[in-house]
Amino acid sequence: MAGSGTAHMRNNDEVVLEVRDLVVEFKIGRGLVVNAVSKVSFDVCRGETLAIVGESGCGKTTLGKAVLQLPPPKSGDVVFEGTNLTKLPKEQLRSARTAMQMVFQDPISSLDPRMTVRALVEEPLWIWERGTEEERGAKVRELLNNVGLDPDLVLNRRSYEFSGGQCQRISIARSLALEPRMLICDEPVSALDVSIQAQILNLLQDMKDRYGLTMIFISHDLAVVKAVSNRIMVMYLGKVCEVGSPDAIYSKPAHHYTSALINSVPIPDPTRKRGAVPLQGEPPSPVAPPSGCRFRTRCPAATELCAAEEPQLREVNPGQYVACHHPRT
Amino acid sequence: MNSLTFKFIAVLRRVAQIVVVIVGSTLFVSLLLQLLPVGLEDLYVFALDEAGRQEQIRLLHLDANPVMFYLYWLGDFVRGDFGSYVYPTGVLDPVAPRLGAALPISLRLVVYVQIVALAISIPLGIFTAYRSGRRSDKVISYGLFTAASIPNFVFALLLASFFGVSLAWFPPLGYTAPGDGFVEHLRSMALPVMALAIPTVATYTRLLRTDVIATLREDYVTMAASKGLSNRRILFTHVLRPSSVTLFTSAALNMGALIGGTLVIEQIFSIPGLGSEIGLAIFSRQYFALQSYVAIIAIGYVVFNGIVDVAVGFVDPRSRERSNA
Amino acid sequence: MRNLFAQMNLLSKLSAVWMALMTALAVFGWLIPLPDPREYDPEASAAGLFSPGHLLGTDAGGYDLLSNVVNGARTSLLIAFISVGFGGLVGSAVGIIAAYRRGRLDYVVSTGFNILLSIPNLVLGLALVAVLATSSDPSVPIASNRRVIIIIIALTVVIIPILGRIARGATLTWINREFVVAARSMGMRDKDIIVRHIVPNVLPAIYSVLFLAVGVVIVAEGALSLLGVGVVDGVSWGAMIARVAGEFTYAPQSMYVPVVVVALTVIACNQLGDFLRGRLDLREGRI
Amino acid sequence: MSAILSIRKLVVNFETPRGLLSAVRDVSLEIEQGSSVGIVGESGSGKTVMSRAAMGLLSGSTVRREGTVMFDDKELTAMRADEVRDQFGTGMAMIFQDPMTALNPVRRIGSQLSEGPRVRLGMDKKAARARSIELLSLVRIPDPEAMLNKFPFQLSGGMRQRVMIAIALACKPKLLFADEPTTALDVTVQAQILQLLSDLRREMNMSMVLVTHDLGVVANHTDFVAVMYAGEIVEQAPTTELFSNMKMPYTEALLKSIPKIDSASGARMAVIEGRLPDPTDRPSGCGFAARCSYVQDKCRTEHPPLVDAGNGHLYRCWYPLGHTIGRK
């Protein structure tokens, strides 16, 4: 991977979100610092779904939250519809956030257990004092209907009375209450059962169409990502490996990590035996990442160059960018 | 920086924490004296002539501001001078020798209580955990819950009246030093130790029971069973150690409650320990002595907890990692 | 309320009834025609249970025990409820805010709690009472109603760090929940997050501890009296215990009344606290 | 081939405050010597309870178990607790979903690893240590000697899972139960661990039961699959037969609803509507009737029996796939 660079950035009118050289670090005591996100840049165009894919610890969730300045990144810029969020004063940031909402991984933990569904979905409207009491009530019912829940059955119940899938529906309804223009979904289906996953993924697609949303879809699951995204960014240990369209990435991955990731996904078809040897080893600690390319310790193609010099993103095929000194051909 | 340096820094940080708490608690007590509705001078300066008066004020540092007053006390305290009882005649009776006599008695009391309480509660906690939900567990657990709720002085009074007076098995009052006959010593300690130990046993047993039940549900206990180990072996090698962490931590925290308990229990059983000394100091308005007594208790408590933290680190390696991080 | 009562097991129900009875005695006890608690009956010293005119007997000094229990309930429960209420309020507010803000404020607050907790409860209470209850003229003792106020202040100081630390710990477990992050991402102000999301979730943990704290304070009041700094010359459960404690060698029967009343009250408080915690665990278990 | 484990009419109920919870209903299954059998189901399907009940690892006053389990020609269900225990380690062994919770957090890897050989095989300290090092090399852990002195929390997820496999294999069991062994792991590490398990199973001529929710995992790593739904086996068959000729609508729906890496991007996914039936109140008909897109009246009222389609392929459906009769 592992590199930085901005070759993949598009400069057109359609870009709604532009993230440049974003750095997020966490202090974990003993003078140690986790390099969660290191100089990551990307952009998202209007109506597009950008998927951010990677394994645990690659910084994808931190990146998603940092876009919303939760918490604010250490350095770098987040420009949303022309406004640089990192430079906004607290109050303006608060109102700027309403245009971007988030759906979280754990549907149960993301809903306050003491509140009724009505209060949960109404809360964003309450915060921003949108509409009268009645208008808000009508809006809540409309939202619940749209996410496939019967308002009469659910309004006065609390989150623990629902299954994970239903909680995720409530959570999605809440995130749409302020009519955001962008939705950041952080592993929205990974805590759900297989048969429920598809329901929620379809719902997200429907909501995207109905509300004209631009989406960032964060996931560890390549198969899920393939179904929902227009553009994929693969991350490893706080850096970007590869950016491109789903078709390009899945059919001819240029980065060795992307290829290993794709080859590791079990396919529910016994007749298709895998030839490839699985990737060896595990990701190094983000506290002391390797020099140069961060993937080089596990990469079958690593050379001395990879240890010495960090690869920059460059275009290998039209619209497909890779940060690798020795890309697959 | 290497990991040894980090360990050293962690230890330093820990020591600094202890010092902050000790200084804070003694400063708190010292500043408390400023709240006295009476001037300290009116309480402790008895000289008739002005020169003698000034001399005494200087000697007791009563002319210093609150912070300096504390620092003088701290300086003396660090050098082993724990202050004095000040009598109307102007005579100073140093605290140190009285402390030397009283402290060991209270320490004995507390240590006996801890030994008795742990000796009973560990087997009882394991037993009730393994019988969890059955009748024997329910009976014992409800009994213990009640016992944990009853104040120790209630036990003290009941025990003294029943075993001390009605049955006369044990002396209801007084203390015999071990030097004057060890059996008599134990007999004189029996009732106070029981009075403090009964609620303590109840608390410890409940804690251990809860933890053992939680540990028995852990995957690694099922894993141990799937290795084909006997129940007894699983109990001793897999269940007991992780389950005992809370017990030992709270046994340490409970030292504070026990020291508080000795105040009352020593009073009821007329035992000349630290509790009786503190009672006397308060009764005769010896606040300098009181300040030192409180300081000694706070130091003992904080240091003891520090030791237990380290000990827990050996029992549970995860906590070592946590406290370093 | 009725709903809550219906969920209780037998012991919790009995505890609730007992606490209601004691509270009723504290508030309306003066309506019951009883002998003056401070007036001794020269005819009946150390009378047993059900003696004529003395339903629960008298102590060695001839004081009517029932009257002392009823009138003592007022003082003892007043001390308990006020110091726990006020200490709980201050402690939880400080604990919640410190945990929510983190950083330096949190360090200062938790160090403060640790300092107060490093002095055993009873020693701290004793020292506070001893200092505050010093009268300027040793020959004039402090009036018992002023002693009550002093004890309330002292025990409030004792309760603050106990509940403060629990509130702080409970807050820490909630602030990392995703719904708090969600609220922030919706643009909610910190003040509203604390009021709407943190406090309602932390409160159940505090309720159950409040009952335990009432028990702690009732025990402390008794212990302070035994040590000679309680409302010794007044009417309270602690004062009764202090009196009978000196008499148990020759009048043991009069000891049982105050001892049983205090013990039952503390057991009831703990039982109710335990019940609330059990409900809490059940709820948390579902979350 | 003979069966190493044979489960007959296994029923497991739990007593709960809400009434009897029926976790496993009338499950029969044979595990052939040397085979790898996958048990697939969503959460709440009863797959974990079934495997633990078969091993005799479910205990507690609220558990009600019926049926017989034969292991290695001995009837486990008729044995005393200590006799069952003697089968563990040398006969049956188990690995768990989350290696963090399945390894004792306060004991070193070495002592947890040598425990089995010392207690069950009577090895002395030195021999057990040598065996431990051998086992760690077997699961391809670099520098096994250093590993002996570590605590579980010092290892990565994949290393922990390798250690757990080593512990399970310590006494050369004939049958290994692997309960979601890779669910807690990252996808690249998951591939390594599954590969390792398959290799070791062949090397040691061991039988394996692989309990998982992932049809992809069973497709690549098992010879035979049993699909569980609502406490029952609804379909079982040799792996290739199952995937090429599935009879049960639930199996098909499950397979279709999985997002696949080779599906077209942006395509709408097939969905199973609704959710699992309440385990304390089982429907009288087919458990899947309320969610099935081929449902008929009969499905709602009559419980379908297991039907034999030959080749060891059994299914529980009134209107199986591939038959046109009775379909809407």
Distance from C-alpha of A20 to C-alpha of A38, rounded to nearest angstrom: 11
CATH fold label, C19-26+57-286: MetI-like fold (1.10.3720)
Tens-digit pLDDT profile for residues B69-123:
889 888 888 888 888 888 777 677 888 888 888 999 999 999 999 999 999 999 9
Q: Is the pLDDT of residue B210 over 80?
A: yes
Q: What percent of chain D has pLDDT over 90?
A: 48
Which candidate, C93, C188, C83, C184, places its Cα nearest to that of C128?
Answer: C83
Q: Is the pLDDT of residue B245 over 80?
A: yes
Alpha-carbon distance D1 to nearest alpha carbon in chain A (angstroms): 23
**Contact (CB<8Å) D194/A266:** yes
Distance from C-alpha of D322 to C-alpha of D301, rounded to nearest angstrom: 23
Q: What percent of chain B has pLDDT over 90?
A: 12
Please list every residue in chain A whose beta carbon sits closer than 8 Å to the beta carbon of residue D266.
227-228, 230
Alpha-carbon distance B17 to nearest alpha carbon in chain A (angstroms): 16
Which candidate, B154, A217, B134, A151, places its Cα nearest to that of C262?
Answer: B154
Domain ranges of chain D: 3-91+171-315, 104-170
Give per-10-residue mean pLDDT for chain C (287 aa).
74 90 86 73 66 68 78 89 95 95 90 88 85 72 80 93 93 89 90 92 87 90 85 80 75 78 90 83 58
Contact between residue C44 and residue C30 where contact means Cβ atoms under 8 Å apart: no
Which candidate, D182, D174, D171, places its Cα nearest to that of D208?
Answer: D174
Q: Which CATH number describes the domain made up of D3-91+171-315?
A: 3.40.50.300
Domain ranges of chain C: 19-26+57-286
Alpha-carbon distance B13 to nearest alpha carbon in chain A (angstroms): 11
CATH (domain of B111): 1.10.3720.10
Which candidate, D18, D109, D111, places its Cα nearest to that of D62?
Answer: D18
Across the B:C interface, residue pairs with CB atoms under 8 Å apart total 144
Instruction: Specify which residues A52 forms β-bridges with.
Output: A218, A233
User: Nearest residue on chain D to B313, judged by CA atoms?
Assistant: D106
Please name the member of D156, D214, D270 whose beta carbon is closest to the beta carbon of A266.
D214
**What mean pLDDT is reported for chain D?**
88
Distance from C-alpha of C191 to C-alpha of C193, rounded to nearest angstrom: 5
Please name the member of D52, D85, D177 whose beta carbon is closest to the beta carbon of B228.
D85
Contact between residue D269 and residue A202 where contact means Cβ atoms under 8 Å apart: yes
What does the pLDDT read at residue A49?
Answer: 94
Please list every residue in chain B whose beta carbon sits closer than 8 Å to the beta carbon of residue C223.
151, 153, 260, 263-264
Note which residues in 116-175 of chain B have CB less than 8 A from chain C: 142, 145-146, 148-151, 153-154, 157-158, 160-161, 165-166, 172
User: Nearest residue on chain C to B280, judged by CA atoms?
Assistant: C227
Cis peptide leading into B242, omega within 30 of 0?
A: no
**Is the minimum CB–CB distance between B88 and chain C shorter than 8 Å?**
no
User: Nearest residue on chain B to D118, judged by CA atoms?
Assistant: B229
Contact between residue B111 and residue B193 where contact means Cβ atoms under 8 Å apart: no
Please list every residue in chain A whose beta carbon sits closer than 8 Å to the beta carbon of residue B6.
30-31
Is the ipTM here above 0.90?
Answer: no
Tally of domains in chain B: 1
Q: Is the pLDDT of residue D116 over 60?
A: yes
- Across B246-250, D133-137, D280-284, the highest mean pLDDT is recorded for D133-137
What does the pLDDT read at residue D32?
Answer: 92
Please list every residue in chain B whose beta carbon sits closer than 8 Å to the beta carbon of residue C131.
32-33, 35-36, 287
Please list every residue in chain C whose beta carbon sits closer than 8 Å to the beta carbon of residue B159.
none
Q: Is the pLDDT of residue A211 over 80?
A: yes
Interchain contact C/D (3 or more Cβ pairs less than 8 Å): no
Q: Is residue B176 part of a domain?
A: yes
Tens-digit pLDDT profile for residues B126-156:
999 988 878 888 888 888 888 888 888 888 8
Q: How would you class D153 by CB atoms within 10 Å of its CB: exposed for 0-12, middle for 13-18, buried for 19 or more? A: middle
- The full length of chain D comes to 328
User: Nearest residue on chain D to B226, judged by CA atoms?
Assistant: D88
User: Does residue A48 sit in helix, strand or coil?
Assistant: coil
Q: Whose structure tokens read 């394996």?
A: D208
Distance from C-alpha of B82 to C-alpha of B296, rounded to nearest angstrom: 9
Alpha carbon distance, N-terminus to C-terminus of chain B: 15
Q: Is the pLDDT of residue D328 over 50?
A: no
Confidence of residue D326 (pLDDT cuts 50, 70, 90): very low
**Is the minimum CB–CB distance between B138 and chain D shorter than 8 Å?**
no
For chain D, give percent helix, strand, coil, nearest 5.
35, 25, 40
Across the A:D interface, residue pairs with CB atoms under 8 Å apart total 133
Q: Is the pLDDT of residue B315 over 90?
A: no
**What mean pLDDT is reported for chain A?**
89
What does the pLDDT read at residue A1?
Answer: 41
What does the pLDDT read at residue D177?
Answer: 93
Please list every residue in chain A whose beta carbon sits closer than 8 Å to the beta carbon of residue C183.
112, 123
Distance from C-alpha of B81 to C-alpha of B96, rounded to nearest angstrom: 7
For residue C60, give both structure tokens. Answer: 């060695």
pTM of the model: 0.85
C-alpha distances in angstroms, C40 versus B89, C35, C58? 40, 9, 9
**Who has greater pLDDT, D262 or B125?**
B125
The amino acid at B65: N
Contact between residue B188 and residue B104 where contact means Cβ atoms under 8 Å apart: no
Tens-digit pLDDT profile for residues A182-200:
999 999 998 888 888 889 9
Please name the member of D104, D105, D120 whose beta carbon is closest to the beta carbon of B228.
D120
**Mean pLDDT throughout D79-103?**
88
Please name the member of C186, C189, C201 whose beta carbon is closest to the beta carbon of A124.
C186
What does the pLDDT read at residue C278?
Answer: 79
Please name the member of C117, C127, C138 whose beta carbon is closest to the beta carbon of B32.
C127
What does the pLDDT read at residue B286?
Answer: 83
The phi-psi region of residue A76 (left if phi > 0; otherwise alpha if psi is between -120 and 50; otherwise beta) is left
User: Nearest residue on chain B to C260, judged by CA atoms?
Assistant: B154
What does the pLDDT read at residue B1?
Answer: 46
Note which residues in 251-280 of chain C have CB less than 8 A from chain A: none
Strands across the sheet containing A75-80: A33-45, A15-27, A75-80, A83-84
**Is the minimum CB–CB distance between B198 and chain C shorter than 8 Å?**
no
What does the pLDDT read at residue B172?
Answer: 76
What does the pLDDT read at residue B325?
Answer: 33
The amino acid at C250: Y
Instruction: Specify which residues A217 forms β-bridges with.
Output: A51, A185
Please list every residue in chain B whose beta carbon sits closer than 8 Å to the beta carbon of residue C114.
21, 24
C-alpha distances in angstroms, B266 versus B167, B309, D280? 21, 29, 58
**What mean pLDDT is reported for chain B?**
84
CA angle B238, B244, B248 (to 5 degrees): 155
For residue B59, give both structure tokens. Answer: 């000697």
**Is the minimum CB–CB distance between B274 and chain C shorter than 8 Å?**
no
Contact between residue A168 and residue A107 where contact means Cβ atoms under 8 Å apart: yes
What does the pLDDT read at residue C249?
Answer: 66
**Contact (CB<8Å) B222/D86:** no
Q: Is residue B4 part of a domain?
A: no
Q: What percent of chain A has pLDDT over 90?
A: 61
Alpha-carbon distance A77 to nearest alpha carbon in chain D (angstroms): 30
Distance from C-alpha of B187 to C-alpha of D234, rounded to nearest angstrom: 72
Tens-digit pLDDT profile for residues A220-230:
988 888 888 99
Tens-digit pLDDT profile for residues B32-68:
888 777 777 777 777 677 787 787 788 777 778 888 8
**Contact (CB<8Å) C266/B151:** yes
Q: Is the pLDDT of residue A267 over 60?
A: yes
**Contact (CB<8Å) D186/A282:** yes
Distance from C-alpha of D42 to C-alpha of D229, rounded to nearest angstrom: 7
